[in-house]
Each structure stands twice: as C-alpha cells, then as structure tokens.
Amino acid sequence: MGSGISTKYEKTYFYKLKEDNALSVSEKSYEYIVHDTHTIESHNDNEVIEFCKDMVSRKPFEDSSYAQNLANTAQHFEMNDKGFFGSPGQGKNVWVIESEEPMHAAMNFYREISEGGITDYTENHHGVITMLKDGINILFRPYPKTDGSPAVDIMLSIGDFLKKIHFIQR
C-alpha cells in the first residue's frame, strides 16, 4: 500500500491566439497522488487496513436495522437511559467513550453497530461506511482530522449526524 491515493484529473487551459480574439481550449490529463495523512492507507496500520477490508467484504443481511444493532451493541458497551453511549463530548452530538485501547474499542463498536449492512470505503478513504436497511448510515473514521481519536458516526443520511462517538484513551 502506498502513502496516498492515486487520482486522475483533467485541467483545461484557455488561451488567446496571436492574431485572433477568440479563445482556444487545450486539455491535458494528469495523474497525481494525494498525500492525505487521514486516509486508512497512509497510516500503514495493518490491523486497521485488514479490519476495513474485512468490513467491506461482509455479506449484508436482509433485515439489518439500527434498532436491532443498538440492542446488541448495548450488551457490550454501556448505554445511558437516553440511548447514548459514553459521555457528552465537546460539540453538538459528540460523545466520548474512554478505553484502554481506543482503536480496538472503536473497531468492536463499529463491527456491532453496523452489523448486517452494506459496507464500502468512503470516497476519500478516510474510513468505511455502512448503510443499514432502515436507512441509517454508520461511518468508521480511524484517523479523523478533528482530534485524531478514532470515531464512529451515526447518521440519518450522509452529513445528517445523530451522534459522533470518539474513542479516547482512559
């Protein structure tokens, strides 16, 4: 695995001809590597890379639902009476779960809360996202830009966050 994601793009140039006022167009294709330190691959953490591959290769269930996964996850992670895991963090809908091993806790939480959904890599390779049959999306970000602690985001739709759960060192 490289330290970035190879991407292609096209660049368009506009220029004036010497004796004409008309603009001429020239297009060139370039290939470049994005060196994004928050991608799964850029951290060279084989355990996280393998975990994400495993999640993407899982077979979905016909009846995967957030409610069912919530009940199963609550057996292994403490949930308060309002249905939230962890304690309030900084920011809207941000929660924090303390653990001796934050990355392992985040991976286990994600595995359980996203059980049975269709999983794929995020477009920018910052993590993996699972779509459950009831429309809830679960996002695992092993290396988020905010504070670097692994996070699991629970969304009604892309960008519409119910909860962002960060896993921090106890």
Q: Which pLDDT score is estimated for 148? A: 78
Q: Strands of the chain (E only): list them.
A: 5-16, 23-34, 87-88, 94-99, 118-121, 128-131, 137-141, 151-157, 160-169
What is the tens place of the pLDDT at every residue in 82-109? 778 888 888 888 899 999 999 999 999 9
Confidence of residue 55 (pLDDT cuts 50, 70, 90): very high
163: its two tokens: 């909860």
3-state secondary structure of 120: strand
Confidence of residue 26 (pLDDT cuts 50, 70, 90): low
d(CA 62, CA 23): 56
Q: Which pLDDT score is estimated for 24? A: 53
Cβ proximity of 140 and 110 under 8 Å: yes
Cβ proximity of 140 and 152 under 8 Å: yes
Confidence of residue 37 (pLDDT cuts 50, 70, 90): confident
End-to-end CA distance of the chain: 31
pTM, full prediction = 0.76
66: its two tokens: 């957030």
pLDDT at 19 over 80: no
d(CA 153, CA 71): 17
Cβ proximity of 102 and 168 under 8 Å: yes
Give strand pairing partners of 94.
Answer: 164
